[in-house]
A and B are shown apart, each in its own frame.
Chain A
Amino acid sequence: MTEIADWSLTATADAIATRKVSAREVTEAALARIAQRQPALNAFIRVDEAGARAAAITADNALAAGRSLAPLHGIPLAHKDMFYRPGVPVTCGSAIRRNFRPDYLATVLARLDAAGAITVGALNMSEFANGPTGHNVHFGPTRNPWNTAHITGGSSSGSGTAVAGRMIYGSLGSDTGGSIRLPGGICGVYGIKATQGRVSRYGAMGLSFSLDNIGPLARTAADCARLLGVIAGPDQDDATAASVPVDDYEAALGLGAKGLRIAVATNHYWDGMSPEVGDVLEAALTELGRLGVSVSRRAVPYHTELRGLGNIVASTEFCTLHDDWLRNQHDQYAPLVRARMKQGYAFTAVEYLKAIQVRPRLIKAFVDDVFGTADALLLPVLRFPVPVITETDVGDGDSMNEVLGSINHCTWPINYLGLPGLSVPAGFSKNGLPVGFQLVGRPFAEAMLFRLAGAYERATGWPDRHPPLAA
């Protein structure tokens, strides 16, 4: 019989709602799993056992009193350590903010609270969400549950490994250049960076205000859809949160994929593809074809421009937010993090604003070109098997740009475009580590991405595969 901690989020929510299991039992199962696997995975920065237990008792009492159920009633979650809750420490994965306690509540946490979720702690992350591997000199690297010698991807590194390692049922991460989709694909779970503006960022640590996105990581497409449905939508506290109505993502999962059209980018994103990852992705395309999806292969435009423009915008905004600390607390940053930020000083205001002002024009041209004949664009997450931690521990050495650029090669361009991207588990490479693909859609087409992912998941059953950690 499967242990409670191994159940999916939606199955567990159903079990709580029908009183087959209590929130206390679910929370104790999660806390036991965290205690068991934290030494190997280093997923958590902080665990709040007492708070989680108290919240579970409250959830059970509410259920016993017949109060109406919310979609996450009694579900233990934990999030990247960058979301603000009054009085609770938020390190942002850094030394600089090690003792920071905010005095207001992030909108996404308020929405999860209202949906009945229980927060059991804060997850490890790349320092200030800056780094795609999962290294962190202050809190130690996170480790991949499929093989702890390998990276988790970042910057939402703890989110990826805690969810894949069956420590919690879902988590929030952030994505400025791939930081949800990379740990999603690398750890073998789902992760969605929704359309820019789909999810409020009020009360979340900022890195690049034009490119940052908040989104969930979860073990099944349904789990991920439920979490996004809870947190998405307009917010009076965030002027950049879109007013576009939120679709029913869970309903989209069951619609089937027959008749849908996927474009596969043959240039840039496929350049240098390793044969074994390529084989897994080709098998995924064959499976999608069996489901009735038409697959077309084509070159997609602007990849070089998107990387460069994204770099101008991101690095200038990094410097804007970190300028004071870069001057006065320079040595408190990891060498890699401060090295990545500094290039923002080298662009002029006119260059930055040109990169911002030309953005809508490029987005329209890209969307008209690619999505005029396709419902989604399929891209790799990584073009090579998941590397080990030691070979990607480059610090600020000569290979930093090359190594980090190879990891976010397929994810980085999508943030400048502001388009939604969902990482989907697609299988395993020969070293036993996950391989994933991204589904990218038109603005606010998250439901279409979940429709495709739901059909693919039912056909392949990848979420039923568990990491080979000791029970």
Chain B
Amino acid sequence: MKIESFLVEERLALLRRSGVAITAADEKRVGDSVAASLKALASAVDGSLFDTEPQSFDTTMRKLAGGGAK
């Protein structure tokens, strides 16, 4: 999936509005990183998250547990 440049530009606008000092190098670095991360998110969230349970990290880990050494 291609992350459109305007989407990255929106994120850079968020960064500029944060009130934190920003350099041109920051913008380049953040732009690259955000594009890759949003692409990963789009790939991982394929469709709706409507049918997911709330805060289920802990229960998932317990259900998948492989305790013991045998």
Interface residues of A (CB under 8 A from B): 195-197, 240, 242, 244-245, 247, 251-252, 255, 302, 304-309, 311-312, 315, 319, 326-327, 330, 339, 342-343, 345-348, 351, 354-355, 357-364, 367, 371, 396-398, 400-401, 418, 441-445, 447-448, 450-451
- What are 21 A-B pairs with beta-carbon distances under 8 A? A304-B40, A305-B40, A307-B40, A308-B38, A308-B39, A308-B44, A309-B37, A309-B40, A309-B41, A311-B33, A312-B37, A327-B18, A330-B20, A339-B26, A346-B14, A355-B41, A360-B53, A360-B60, A442-B66, A444-B65, A448-B69
Which residues of the other chain, B, contact A367 by a CB distance below 8 angstroms? Answer: 64
**Cβ of B41 and Cβ of A351 under 8 Å apart?**
yes
Across chains A and B, the number of contacting residue pairs, with CB separation under 8 Å, is 153
Interface residues of B (CB under 8 A from A): 11-12, 14-15, 18-22, 25-26, 28-30, 32-34, 36-41, 43-45, 49, 52-53, 56-62, 64-70
Give the docked Cα–Cα distance between A277 and B23 (Å).
Answer: 38
Give the docked Cα–Cα distance between A306 and B56 (Å).
Answer: 18
Which residues of the other chain, A, contact B65 by a CB distance below 8 angstroms? Answer: 244, 442-445
Give the docked Cα–Cα distance between A400 and B32 (Å).
Answer: 12
**Cβ of B37 and Cβ of A360 under 8 Å apart?**
no
**Cβ of A371 and Cβ of B66 under 8 Å apart?**
yes
**Cβ of A359 and Cβ of B66 under 8 Å apart?**
no
Q: A197-B61, A345-B20, A401-B33 are in contact. Are A305 and B43 (CB under 8 A)?
A: yes
**Cβ of A360 and Cβ of B56 under 8 Å apart?**
yes
Give the docked Cα–Cα distance between A245 and B62 (Å).
Answer: 11
Q: A305-B40, A360-B56 are in contact. Are A330 and B21 (CB under 8 A)?
A: yes
**Cβ of B64 and Cβ of A247 under 8 Å apart?**
no
Where chain B touches its partner, the secondary structure class is helix
Least distance between A360 CB and chain B CB atoms (Å): 4
> Which of A311, A360, A401 contacts B57 (CB under 8 A)?
A360
Closest to A308 in B: B40
Which residues of the other chain, A, contact B26 by a CB distance below 8 angstroms? Answer: 339, 342, 396
Give the docked Cα–Cα distance between A364 and B58 (Å).
Answer: 12
Closest to A313 in B: B37
Which residues of the other chain, A, contact B57 by a CB distance below 8 angstroms? Answer: 196, 359-360, 363, 418
**Cβ of B25 and Cβ of A327 under 8 Å apart?**
no
Give the docked Cα–Cα distance between A309 and B56 (Å).
Answer: 17
**Cβ of A443 and Cβ of B61 under 8 Å apart?**
yes
Which residues of the other chain, A, contact B19 by a CB distance below 8 angstroms? Answer: 327
Least distance between A121 CB and chain B CB atoms (Å): 34
Q: Looking at A255, A360, A362, A442, which has the most chain B CB atoms within 10 Å of its CB?
A: A360
Closest to A303 in B: B40
Which residues of the other chain, A, contact B52 by a CB distance below 8 angstroms? Answer: 357-358, 360-361
